[in-house]
Amino acid sequence: MPWAWRSRPELRRESLELPDGDITAVDWLVDTDDLPDSAPLLIILHGLEGSAQSSYARMLMEASRDRGWRACVLHSRDCGDYRNRLPRRYHAGETNDLRYFLNKLHEQRDAAGNGGPILAVGYSLGGNVLLKYLGESGQETPLAAATAVCVPLDLHECAEALNFGFSRIYQRHLLKNMKNAVTRKFDRHTAAFNWERAMGATTFAEFDDAVTAPLHGFAGKQDYYDRCSSKRYLDGIERPTLIINALDDPFMTADVIPAIEQLADSVTLELAENGGHVGFVSGGRPWRPEFYLPGRILEFLEPFAARPGL
């Protein structure tokens, strides 16, 4: 993870009321508020337990600002420094919130008559949500192009990968964060799931089976992983899309990599030997590293940012 990025861009918080009565947050980069509506708009989806304060999101917002693009982070429910209303959180297949936000933006920009292209980038779990949404939507999306980074394309395989080698350390870190997040919202008396199973989970898969699945209407982790793995939606994507994954990502195994026939013609898959999970240090010094992802992401999206809004 790009822990060394210490810049703190100023953000403006907007609440997003959702159709089911719940609420989430959108953080807008203040530095781009004065840009015209015709400027490209970049929407960023964060990863597991992430937020607009995640270093990869801050890096990308500042890089997009330098190109004259507007930028925002759409938060998953109950992430960041706010709490949602309903007795639920978020999961890797929740595409309705993204769909609602994009359609709302498109209607607003269309009504103004001068809206520029809308682009999107998803990291990790947010990348899975983005790819699933694109595969479900086909041509019916306001997005001109997208990039997904370090995506757990096959949730079954990625959960299993965390049980081996160094990945087990990463798994313990993730589980600690997830349990802490759950205890901020629920206790053993208010939880809509088995509290003892949840707090006793020792693997990612056990936690998803105990918490994520029942909290969001799935029969169990098998049903959740089957229905929400973005790998099965890749052949339905009809917008230019770049997927960047690293072979040394703790979530990765060879079985996660999709075969060429599983990719739509509009999808480009780039696999790096090294990069870890949303790391991709490309140079610099130990105390001042340089990162590959912001430049590569925006390089891919640049041609589509010059096009009129869809």
1-22 tens-digit pLDDT: 444 445 688 999 999 999 999 9
CA distances to 52, 103, 182, 258 from 268, rounded to whole Å, are 26, 25, 36, 11
Question: For residues 181 and 215, what is the distance between their CA atoms, to the nearest angstrom?
Answer: 14
Q: In which band, very low, low, confident or very high, does the pLDDT at 188 lie, cut at 50, 70 and 90?
A: very high
Backbone angles phi, psi at 171, to 5 degrees: -65, -45
Question: For residues 109 and 123, what is the distance between their CA atoms, to the nearest angstrom?
Answer: 25
Contact 91, 151 (CB under 8 A): no
How many CA atoms lie within 13 Å of 262's alpha carbon, on the beta-carbon side? 14
Q: Residue 11, exposed/middle/buried by CB under 10 A (0-12, 13-18, 19+)? A: buried
294 token code pair: 């912001």
pLDDT at 310 over 60: no
State the pLDDT at residue 295: 93
Query: Which of 69-83, 145-159, 281-295 is predicted least confidently?
Result: 281-295
114-124 tens-digit pLDDT: 689 999 999 99
Question: For residues 183 and 259, what is the distance between their CA atoms, to the nearest angstrom?
Answer: 40
Percent of the chain surpassing pLDDT 90: 78
Q: In which band, very low, low, confident or very high, does the pLDDT at 131 lie, cut at 50, 70 and 90?
A: very high
Domains of the chain and CATH, by start = 11-154+230-305 (3.40.50.1820), 155-228 (no CATH)
Q: Average per-residue pLDDT in the chain?
A: 91
pLDDT at 57 over 90: yes
Q: Residue 286, exposed/middle/buried by CB under 10 A (0-12, 13-18, 19+)? A: exposed
- Three-state helix/strand/coil letters over 138-182: CCCCCEEEEEEECCCCCHHHHHHHCCCCCHHHHHHHHHHHHHHHH
Q: Number of helices (H) and strands (E), helices first, in the chain?
A: 10, 10
State the pLDDT at residue 235: 98
DSSP state of 30: G
State the pLDDT at residue 277: 62
State the pLDDT at residue 112: 66
Active site residues: 124, 249, 277
Question: For residues 67 and 287, what is the distance between their CA atoms, to the nearest angstrom?
Answer: 26
Question: For residues 32 and 64, what is the distance between their CA atoms, to the nearest angstrom?
Answer: 9
Nearest to 197 by CA among 213, 174, 173, 177: 213
State the pLDDT at residue 287: 47
Q: Is 35 helix (H, G, I), strand (E, B) or coil?
A: coil
Question: For residues 187 and 87, what is the distance between their CA atoms, to the nearest angstrom?
Answer: 12
State the pLDDT at residue 288: 55
Question: For residues 72 and 191, what is the distance between their CA atoms, to the nearest angstrom?
Answer: 32
Angle at which helices 125-137 and 96-112 pack, to 10 degrees?
70
State the pLDDT at residue 109: 79
255-273 tens-digit pLDDT: 999 999 999 999 999 998 7
Nearest to 251 by CA among 130, 128, 146, 136: 128
Question: For residues 149 and 67, what is the distance between their CA atoms, to the nearest angstrom?
Answer: 20
- For the question of whether the overall pTM of this predicted structure is more than 0.75, the answer is yes
State the pLDDT at residue 248: 83
DSSP string covering 270-293, please?
Answer: EEESS-TTTT-EEEEETTEEEESH
